[in-house]
Amino acid sequence: MASVRYLKRGKKNLWTYTIRDETSKTIAYKSGFDTKKKAQIEAEKLLRKLNHGFSLDNKMSLYQLYQEWLNLKILPSKRSQTTKNKYIMRKGIIKKLFGDTPVSQIKPSKYQRIMNDYGKTVTRDTLSRLHTSIKECIKTAQADKIFIEDFTFFAELFSSKESQSAEEKYIHSEKDLNNIIKYIKQKMDYRKSTAPFIIYFLFKTGMRFGELIALTWEDVNFEEKVIKTYRRYNTSTRQFVPPKNQTSIRNIPISDEEINILKSLKQDQVRLNNELRIINTNNFIFQHYGYVQDIPNNATVNKELRKILIRLDISPIITTKGARHTYGSFLWHNQIDLGVIARILGHKDISMLVEVYGHTLQEKINDEFDNVRKLL
């Protein structure tokens, strides 16, 4: 499949585009554009013809238009495969909602009715992401001078299903967090399950679930007390997959307590596998003979975490992702440098870090309230 590259060149600083085939051979080149946008409009029209042999038109269905937009704007981009998969998944939703109706026949009122119905089943966030993607499709067609009414322009988004608020995504109290850790340590018994070990290390490392279960014993440096993560594991396909992005490849510090728990876990794992004559093929840290795939999936661990929180009467009921949020918030409110937190969690953007993890633990709120009272 051909690809395009844009550059500024010459004394006049004009834009050029170069289209190359899959062997990197140049098959089209043109310069002299005073803006990048003008270069993109011409290059992308040519790129579509080269890759697919046809141009956009208003007889296409929204599903077909979305596929073209994916091919042009999303799939060649540097977005992670996980993000690309989310865009691909929306293609099926569009097919289901709009069928084969040509985009020229989708009127604002029809679009509003369809989005209203879909909004009854999904959260506002999900609805908004679909709406934004459709809007971008239309912009692509309009850039090709295809007459399509922007039926999304006056649409309002209504959802009956509430999104989880920021307050529901993490453990609010350091005391609650300590009680969770204490209880989990009491439940650690390799003969029964590795789920408590996984939950413990989710809270202690802030790793994504897929990153944590992908860990092998080679990924732990017991001397330097760090864990290296550079990939994820998909329990559905039973395959290792690349990291979410380049900053996801990182070292994570752990304490002597975590080191000792890992050493004990490894001893128990080797002993029981030898007894049962089982081979830990991938050398997974959290391998267990009781699981069909050697390691538990996200749903299994979420179920165990839910049981623990209910048993301890701790709310909100969070998921494995909530453990990551809790870890980030805990570091934030213990004055760990933002750049260090970003590196540990594998985030590129510090501003996003503040937005996602800048919650205030209850103990911090109480302390600050006392400081305010002293000023009064």
In this prediction, residue 376 carries a pLDDT of 43
Residues of the chain with pLDDT > 70, as a percent, come to 84
Residues 234-245: what's their mean pLDDT?
86
CA–CA separation, 151 and 141 (whole Å) = 13
3 in Cβ contact with 9 (< 8 Å): no
Asked if residue 368 has pLDDT above 80, the reply is no
In a domain, 320, yes or no: yes
In a domain, 376, yes or no: no
Are residues 34 and 109 part of one domain? no
Are residues 189 and 274 part of one domain? yes
Question: Each residue of 254-301: pLDDT tens digit?
Answer: 999 999 999 999 999 999 999 999 999 999 999 999 888 899 999 999
Are residues 146 and 73 part of one domain? yes
Are residues 265 and 129 part of one domain? no
Name the strand (E) or helix (H) holding 195: helix 195-205
Q: What share of the chain is helix, strand, coil (3-state, %, to 5)?
A: 55, 10, 35
CA–CA separation, 117 and 107 (whole Å) = 16
Asked if residue 184 has pLDDT above 60, the reply is yes
Q: Which pairing describes strands 226-229 and 232-234: parallel, antiparallel, or unpaired?
A: unpaired
Confidence category of residue 306, pLDDT binned at 50, 70, 90: very high
Tell me the average pLDDT of the chain: 85
Domain final residue pick, 163, 185, 205: 163
Question: Each residue of 3-49: pLDDT tens digit?
Answer: 788 888 877 788 888 887 666 767 677 888 888 888 888 888 777 66
In this prediction, residue 54 carries a pLDDT of 46
Tokens of 223: 């001397």
In a domain, 88, yes or no: yes
Question: Each residue of 322-356: pLDDT tens digit?
Answer: 999 899 888 887 888 888 888 899 987 666 666 66
Are residues 340 and 199 part of one domain? yes
Which amino acid belongs to residue 298?
Answer: N
Peptide bond into 316 cis (omega under 30): yes
Are residues 137 and 61 part of one domain? yes
Name the strand (E) or helix (H) holding 250: strand 250-253
Are residues 231 and 94 part of one domain? no
Are residues 153 and 107 part of one domain? yes
In a domain, 375, yes or no: no
Q: Name 237's Cβ contacts closer than 8 Å, sequence gap at least 6.
A: none
C-alpha torsion sign, points 195, 200, 203, 205 = negative
What is the DSSP code (8-state) at residue 13? T
Are residues 229 and 80 part of one domain? no
C-alpha torsion sign, points 134, 135, 141, 144 = negative
Are residues 128 and 40 part of one domain? no
Distances (CA, A) of 101 to 89, 106, 108, 269: 19, 7, 14, 57
In a domain, 12, yes or no: yes
Question: Each residue of 137-170: pLDDT tens digit?
Answer: 888 777 766 667 789 988 999 887 665 554 457 8
Domain of 190, CATH number, reads 1.10.443.10
Residues of the chain with pLDDT > 90, as a percent, come to 45
Distances (CA, A) of 148 to 27, 103, 138: 31, 7, 7
In this prediction, residue 200 carries a pLDDT of 98
Domain final residue pick, 141, 163, 185: 163
**Cut 0.75: pTM above it:** no
Are residues 364 and 299 part of one domain? yes
246 in Cβ contact with 311 (< 8 Å): no
In this prediction, residue 333 carries a pLDDT of 78
CA–CA separation, 29 and 213 (whole Å) = 47
Residues 94-100: what's their mean pLDDT?
93
In a domain, 105, yes or no: yes
What is the DSSP code (8-state) at residue 202? H
Confidence category of residue 53, pLDDT binned at 50, 70, 90: very low
In this prediction, residue 305 carries a pLDDT of 96
Tokens of 16: 């050029």
Tokens of 248: 């996801």
Question: What is the residue range of 12's domain?
Answer: 1-48
What is the DSSP code (8-state) at residue 30? E
CA–CA separation, 68 and 64 (whole Å) = 6
In a domain, 248, yes or no: yes
Nearest-CA neighbor of 316 among 279, 362, 349, 353?
362
Q: Rounded to 5 degrees, what angle do the CA atoms 373, 374, 376 make?
A: 65
Residue with tokens 């709009």: 98
Helix (H, G, I), strand (E, B) or coil at 281: coil
Domain final residue pick, 119, 138, 163: 163
CA–CA separation, 293 and 183 (whole Å) = 27
Question: Each residue of 189-206: pLDDT tens digit?
Answer: 999 999 999 999 999 999
Domain of 101, CATH number, reads 1.10.150.130
Higher pLDDT, 363 or 12: 12
Are residues 191 and 74 part of one domain? no
In a domain, 86, yes or no: yes
37 in Cβ contact with 50 (< 8 Å): no
Question: Each residue of 219-233: pLDDT tens digit?
Answer: 999 999 999 999 999
Higher pLDDT, 376 or 353: 353
Helix (H, G, I), strand (E, B) or coil at 5: strand
Residues 240-248: what's their mean pLDDT?
88
In this prediction, residue 42 carries a pLDDT of 82
**What total number of domains does the chain contain?**
3
CA–CA separation, 326 and 222 (whole Å) = 25
String of b and e for 306-316 (b: at least 16 CB within 10 Å)? eebbeeeebee
In this prediction, residue 204 carries a pLDDT of 96
